[in-house]
Homo-oligomer: A and B are copies of this chain.
Amino acid sequence: MKVIEGGVTAAKGFEAAGVEANIKYQNRKDMALIYSTTPCQAAGTFTTNVVKAAPVLWDKDIVENSPFAQAVVVNAGVANAGTGVQGMAYCKEEADAASELLHIPQNAVLIGSTGVIGMQIPIDRIKEGIKLLAAAKADTLEAGHTAAEAIMTTDTHRKEIAVRFLVDGTEVTLGGMCKGSGMIHPNMCTMLSYITTDAAISKTLLQEALSASIQDSYNMVSVDGDTSTNDTCLVLANGLAGNPQITEKGEAYQAFCEALDYVNTYLAKQMAADGEGATALFEATVYHAATKQDARILAKSVISSNLSKAAIYGHDANGGRFLCALGYSGVHFNPDKVDLFIESKAGKIQIFQDGAALDYSEEEATKILSEPEVTVLADMKMGEETATAWGCDLTYDYVKINADYRS
């Protein structure tokens, strides 16, 4: 497997576009399209929030009940959540408009929205945007970049990646883009993430691969503990690579999963590092946990802790806060056994041994924590399982961005 340039247009037969539709933002692209020249198997995972945005309900229905999917229309600025019956009717209008312009069935059109909750989307401008998208779509790398830019809200940069790998001797490409910066604490999937691949793979295995992949990628990320109403991850596979269709769990499936995991993990980390107001990627790795689920919960508890996040912002090796966050995670362990370490490019030191603080160099600790990517490691000494979670520091700018997001 190798990482190549590009995102959602890297795989054969996929086109994309990003346009200015003036949904809420001015003078920037705020609508995106992904389009496949041929029908795709589609898989998806969606927010576990009881309050689900209209496009989430729409996409869930398409993924579960449509014979195939062929396009995704996304807008930034307004989330179409907390919008009741009218919100669902607007989804249908969007799909109708895209169906007509792209000459594909209405139930092959997936929809994504992100932005303010509790506001109706401006349907006329959305429909104008769909016209512009249909006219602008292209299979170039540039078109992929533009789409990745158009789905951003408070993100500071676009997030995309593509990889190429072999399936039964055939070259297969898988690429993706995502957005996400606040209201990020995915529980099923993250804000918006779109993966395209030319792999031929059965719908069942595509869904299975995705459902497994999100557990240790998007679901291990938290920016602020708030699980969004719009979290969506979609994979479209059009089979144009020409590999023998993957229909069972052999080597070919493994190769596909490896590529999918790599892309999802990359995009998940990109979101954490670009968390609202963040100055650092804050990683926590828990090892020797009793179970895999314990390891995941413990790691996520550390990177979700406001006090730990504030300490990372202050470059403060406050091991007590990391230990405290492990302690209230709900996982059982022996606090008198835990070892803690901090690590970055600047080095690695141990700060707690068997649950008690060590006498380490504050100067060295500060140096380690002043890097843009820092890791807290916890050795639980309870078993053999490991997990890693990604978050970011808590800064003045996070508060600033969110104190008056709507205006």
Interface residues of A (CB under 8 A from B): 48-52, 79, 81-84, 86-87, 116-119, 182-183, 185, 187, 224-229, 304-307, 310-311, 313-316, 318-321, 323-329, 331-333, 335-336, 351-352, 354-357, 394-396, 398-400, 402-407
Contact = CB atoms under 8 A, between A and B. Distances in A.
6 contacts: A51-B324, A51-B327, A51-B335, A225-B306, A227-B328, A314-B403
Contacts of A320: 79, 81-82, 116-119, 229
A50 B331 contact: yes
B83 A226 contact: no
A356 B311 CA distance: 38
A396 to B, nearest CB: 5
B327 A399 contact: no
A398 B310 CA distance: 9
Task: Name which of A83, A329, A356, A400 has the most chain B CB atoms within 10 A of its CB.
Answer: A356
In the complex this chain forms, how many copies of it are found? 2
Contacts of A84: 336, 354-356
Given A50-B329, A84-B354, A225-B225, 6 more contacts: A117-B318, A118-B320, A185-B328, A226-B307, A306-B306, A318-B406
Q: Which 9 pairs between the two chains have the least Cβ-Cβ distance?
A: A117-B320, A314-B403, A51-B327, A118-B357, A310-B402, A84-B356, A227-B328, A118-B320, A314-B404
A196 to B, nearest CB: 29
A352 B50 contact: no
A304 B226 CA distance: 9
B51 A226 contact: no
B50 A333 contact: yes
A110 to B, nearest CB: 22
A82 B325 contact: no
A355 to B, nearest CB: 6
B402 A50 contact: no
Given A117-B320, A357-B83, A326 B226 contact: no
A383 to B, nearest CB: 15
B183 A327 contact: no
B406 A316 contact: yes
Nearest to A329: B50
Contacts of A398: 306, 310, 399
Task: Name which of A51, A83, A404 has the most chain B CB atoms within 10 A of its CB.
Answer: A51
B321 A117 contact: yes
A394 B225 CA distance: 13
A402 B81 CA distance: 34
B402 A307 contact: yes
A324 B49 contact: yes
A79 B287 CA distance: 27
